[in-house]
Chain A
Amino acid sequence: MNGFPTLSARRAPRGWLISALGLALLLIVNTLPPLLVVRQALTPPDEAVQMPLRLLPESFSLQNLTSLWTTEPLLDRVTLSLGVALATTLLALVMGFPAGWAAVRLARAGRTIASLSLISRVLPPIVIAIPLTAILIPLGLYDHPLGLGLVLAHLTIGLPFAVLLAYAAFRDLPPELEESAIVNGCGTFEAFWRVALPSVRGAVAGAFILVFLLSWDEFAYALLIQLTNRTLPPLIYYYTNYGELGVASTLAVMMLVPAVLVIAFLQGLMTRGPLAGGVRDT
């Protein structure tokens, strides 16, 4: 429907060249640094301090990975990070989707919930994290080996996010669907569980990806709350700070793997608008 805009009747050859150069520059600036992390991870430490560095190292080695494996309980760190992210995601979705649906159906009162979710996303983690640690310590949840305190902290960002995503998804859903379910004998919760929720599967999958990555990538809360039982982001920070950039890069490469997997796995579920035309306008 909307074709390509043509700003000028004649295509200027010089404009094309500038655009191509710009794209090449963009490609280098945005994709070279992540590749340099992979290069750094695979470079033996003594070669990494030479100056000037070359684009490609003279030799490849897994020395960074092996030293990381021997000095750090690597498997524990990875499972902790994964566990916290999964627990945060599940809790956020289990609370967030019913709430988002109820908020849409409550119309005016629901908008208050939505704007409350929006406001609670404004505060930076530091503001909450410092007093939150004071609350978590007597509960025994501070620096918890299973990261329970961190899950609670991550919920402060994951839950409003899930509520807002659910709110947006259910707002597009015609209420007539649930209404006809209720007329046919469904209870209130059944109408949600059997009719409304399955209709927004795509949004659930999308929210899963986003909340999972939010927790998996989160740095500030993890830095303050998991002092010794560290998740991957603060671990990368510590190694960067100690100048062990090769080890930090190895961890960074590991952080990218689940992110890519989660997106690839759930991409199939993200079909949009399966109910478009589900209700007849009369």
Chain B
Amino acid sequence: MNHREPTTPGRLIDPTRPFSTNYWTQRRLVFLLAAAPAVGYLLLQFWPLGRALGSALTDEAGDWTTAHLTRVWGDRLFVRSLGYSLLVPVVSVGLEAVVGLGMALWFYELRRGRFFWRTVAIVPFALPEIVYLLTMKLVFRQNGYLNSALWHGGGADWTVGWLEPGRPLMTLVVILVDAWRVTPIVFLIVLTALEQLPVSYVEAARIDGAGPWQIRARVLVPLVLPALLVALALRAVDAFRIFATPLVLVGVEAMPVLTSVAYHYKASANDVPAANIAALTLALGLLVMSLTAWALVWAGRRFRA
């Protein structure tokens, strides 16, 4: 379809459609309309980003300095936040992969009430983030509903400090709460991929004598693996940006992440250069992660082809 035949004189629309490529690119208005958002991004994102870089590396007189940089890198809160910011994506993506894939395989076989159950499954994602986090705070806090349920079951001894600062359990609960909100994305992407597979694949495997688990492990999972990997790559980048969940559930000190530390510098001492350094570290990390994710997806496609 790529070959072009010369347009007959006097005929504007050619069946091989050079019209679209020729006509629109000659209209200045079309370029202006397309460029408008780019100007917006430039003013609202790249300009602030440049300013952040500037304020992080200059002192009040406007001279270059690394003073802010060394101070932030010596701050224990910042160093701890680096650890948590790396831990969250690893644990979170692992959980989402297992749960998202498991739920998709389970819902794939569901016969009745598919629409209803799918809606139920995406409720955490459909709620506004802050409302979801408030519900989780009500459930997990010391005097919360989960501890109340345990109390009703076995008395006060059964209550657990789910969000008690400094314990691994707290970290796990925070990551779990965050992962549960976005697992529906992974679940929906994988389920859509599953439902697009011809049912005949499953039938062929069954007739050849494969059991249900063999079909899942040897037929379905390998076929939806590319979709799963794309979803997880997106999610890993997203999990690195985690902000509201640890902030609302346990606060900055108990579980600092890069975003919340940047917010903390800005809000508590109004220390803009320090806040900018934390923010830029985050941006740099995201750049590395996005490139890695992109390379993985690209390599995966090449590998399949």
Given A98-B36, A109-B34, A240-B137, A34 and B111 contact (CB-CB distance below 8 Å): no
Residue B167 is within 8 A (CB to CB) of chain A in the complex = no
Instruction: Collect the chain B residues with CB atoms within 8 Å of residue A233's CB.
Output: 128-130
Residue B297 is within 8 A (CB to CB) of chain A in the complex = no
Residue A224 is within 8 A (CB to CB) of chain B in the complex = yes
Given A31-B123, A153-B44, A156-B45, A237 and B36 contact (CB-CB distance below 8 Å): no
Instruction: Collect the chain B residues with CB atoms within 8 Å of residue A155's CB.
Output: 40, 44
Interface contact B37-A8, CB-CB below 8 Å:
no
Instruction: Collect the chain A residues with CB atoms within 8 Å of residue B298's CB.
Output: none
Interface of B: prevailing SS: helix
Q: Which of A85-134 contact B (CB under 8 A)?
A: 95-96, 98-99, 101-103, 105-107, 109-110, 113, 116-117, 120, 122-128, 130-134
Residue B195 is within 8 A (CB to CB) of chain A in the complex = yes
Taking CB as reference atom, which chain B residue is nearest A40?
A: B138
Instruction: Collect the chain B residues with CB atoms within 8 Å of residue A74's CB.
Output: none
Residue B73 is within 8 A (CB to CB) of chain A in the complex = no
Interface residues as binary, A215-245 with B (CB distance below 8 Å gives 1, 0 otherwise): 0110110011000000001001100110001
Docked Cα-Cα span, A153 to B45, in Å, equals: 9
B15, B21, B212, B276: the one within 8 Å of A107 (CB):
B21
Instruction: Collect the chain A residues with CB atoms within 8 Å of residue B269's CB.
Output: none
Interface contact B37-A95, CB-CB below 8 Å:
yes
Residue A7 is within 8 A (CB to CB) of chain B in the complex = yes
Interface contact B124-A30, CB-CB below 8 Å:
yes
Given A8-B211, A131-B276, A248 and B134 contact (CB-CB distance below 8 Å): yes
A99, A106, A124: the one within 8 Å of B286 (CB):
A124
A134, chain B: closest CB distance, angstroms? 6
Taking CB as reference atom, which chain B residue is nearest A234?
A: B130
Instruction: Collect the chain B residues with CB atoms within 8 Å of residue A99's CB.
Output: 33-37
Instruction: Collect the chain B residues with CB atoms within 8 Å of residue A103's CB.
Output: 34
Interface contact B117-A23, CB-CB below 8 Å:
yes
Taking CB as reference atom, which chain A residue is nearest B260?
A: A126
Interface size class on chain B is 35 or more
Instruction: Flag the segment in A50-58, A64-72, A200-208, A270-278 that touches B.
Output: A50-58
Instruction: Collect the chain B residues with CB atoms within 8 Å of residue A199's CB.
Output: none
Docked Cα-Cα span, A124 to B65, in Å, equals: 26
Residue B241 is within 8 A (CB to CB) of chain A in the complex = yes
Instruction: Collect the chain A residues with CB atoms within 8 Å of residue B106's CB.
Output: 19, 22
Residue A26 is within 8 A (CB to CB) of chain B in the complex = yes
Residue A62 is within 8 A (CB to CB) of chain B in the complex = no
A124, A240, A241: the one within 8 Å of B282 (CB):
A124
Instruction: Collect the chain A residues with CB atoms within 8 Å of residue B109's CB.
Output: 4-5, 7, 19
B38, B55, B263: the one within 8 Å of A126 (CB):
B263
Interface contact B12-A183, CB-CB below 8 Å:
yes
Residue A27 is within 8 A (CB to CB) of chain B in the complex = yes
Instruction: Collect the chain B residues with CB atoms within 8 Å of residue A27's CB.
Output: 120
Interface contact A26-B143, CB-CB below 8 Å:
no
B147, chain A: closest CB distance, angstroms? 7
Docked Cα-Cα span, A183 to B20, in Å, equals: 13
Taking CB as reference atom, which chain B residue is nearest A254?
A: B131
A2, A52, A156: the one within 8 Å of B44 (CB):
A156
B103, chain A: closest CB distance, angstroms? 8
Residue A148 is within 8 A (CB to CB) of chain B in the complex = no
Interface contact B48-A128, CB-CB below 8 Å:
yes
Interface residues as binary, B271-296 with A (CB distance below 8 Å gives 1, 0 otherwise): 01001100110110010001000000
Instruction: Collect the chain B residues with CB atoms within 8 Å of residue A132's CB.
Output: 44, 48
Taking CB as reference atom, which chain A residue is nearest B131?
A: A252
Which 3 interchain pairs have the tightest Cβ spacing? A33-B135, A52-B151, A52-B148
Return 10 A-B CB contacts under 8 Å, by A number: A6-B203, A53-B143, A99-B35, A106-B24, A106-B25, A127-B279, A236-B130, A237-B130, A237-B244, A256-B127
- Residues of A that sit less than 8 Å from B by CB: 2-9, 19, 22-23, 26-27, 30-31, 33-34, 36-37, 40, 49, 51-54, 95-96, 98-99, 101-103, 105-107, 109-110, 113, 116-117, 120, 122-128, 130-135, 152-153, 155-156, 159-160, 163, 175-176, 179-180, 182-183, 188-189, 192, 213, 216-217, 219-220, 223-224, 233, 236-237, 240-241, 245, 248-249, 252, 255-256, 259, 282
- Residues of B that sit less than 8 Å from A by CB: 12-13, 15, 17, 19-21, 23-25, 27, 29-38, 40-41, 44-45, 47-49, 51-52, 55, 106, 108-111, 117, 120-121, 123-124, 127-139, 143-145, 147-149, 151-152, 195, 198-199, 202-203, 206, 211-212, 215-216, 237, 241, 243-244, 247-248, 251, 259, 262-263, 266-267, 272, 275-276, 279-280, 282-283, 286, 290
